[in-house]
Amino acid sequence: MSIRFEEQGTPRTQILATLAEFQAGDADWRGGKVPLYVFSGPSDVGEIGKEAFNLFFSENALGARRAFPSLLRMEQEVVGMGLDLFHAPPGAAGNMTSGGTESIVMAVKACRDWSRAQRNDTSFRGNLVLPETAHPAFDKAAALMDLEIRRIPARADYRADVPAMAAAIDAATIMLVGSAPCFPFGVIDPLAELSDLAIARGVWLHSDACVGGWMAPFAAEIGRAIPQFDLGLPGVRSLSADLHKFGFCPKPASVIFYRDAVLQSFQEMKFDVWPSGPFGTQTLVGTRAGGAVAASWAVLRYLGRTGYREIAHQVLTMRDAFIAGLTAIPGMHLRGTPELAIIAFGCDDIDMGQVATLMSERGWVPGMVRRPVSLHLMLSLHHETSRETYIRDLADCIAAIRGQTQVTRTEASYA
Identify the domain boundary among 263, 285, 302: 302
Tell me which residue of 339, 295, 345 sits closest to 316, measured CA to CA.
339
Q: How far apart are CA 198 and CA 202, in angstroms?
A: 6
The answer to the question of residue 253 being in a domain is yes
Tell me which residue of 342, 66, 116, 334 sits closest to 210, measured CA to CA.
342
pLDDT digits (tens, 9 = 90+) for 212-243: 999 999 999 999 999 999 999 999 999 999 99
The answer to the question of residue 361 being in a domain is yes
296 and 326 assigned to the same domain: no
pLDDT score of 10: 93
Q: Considering Cα of 205, then 230, then 64, then 288, what sign does the dihedral take? A: positive
Radius of gyration, CA atoms only, the chain: 23
Total of domains in the chain: 2
What is the extent of the structural domain holding 167? Answer: 47-302
CATH number at residue 94: 3.40.640.10
Q: How far apart are CA 194 and CA 173, in angstroms?
A: 14
The answer to the question of residue 17 being in a domain is no
Which residue ranges in the chain fall short of pLDDT 70?
404-415
65 and 192 assigned to the same domain: yes
Identify the domain boundary among 262, 279, 302: 302
333 and 285 assigned to the same domain: no
CATH number at residue 355: 3.90.1150.10
The answer to the question of residue 126 being in a domain is yes
pLDDT score of 409: 53
397 and 261 assigned to the same domain: no
pLDDT score of 61: 87
138 and 114 assigned to the same domain: yes
Tell me which residue of 11, 258, 252, 3 sits closest to 114, measured CA to CA.
258
Identify the domain boundary among 244, 267, 302: 302
The answer to the question of residue 412 being in a domain is no
Q: How far apart are the first and last CA of the chain?
A: 25
223 and 348 assigned to the same domain: no
Mean pLDDT of the chain: 94
pLDDT digits (tens, 9 = 90+) for 187-217: 999 999 999 999 999 999 999 999 999 999 9
284 and 345 assigned to the same domain: no
249 and 387 assigned to the same domain: no
Q: Which amino acid is at 125?
A: R
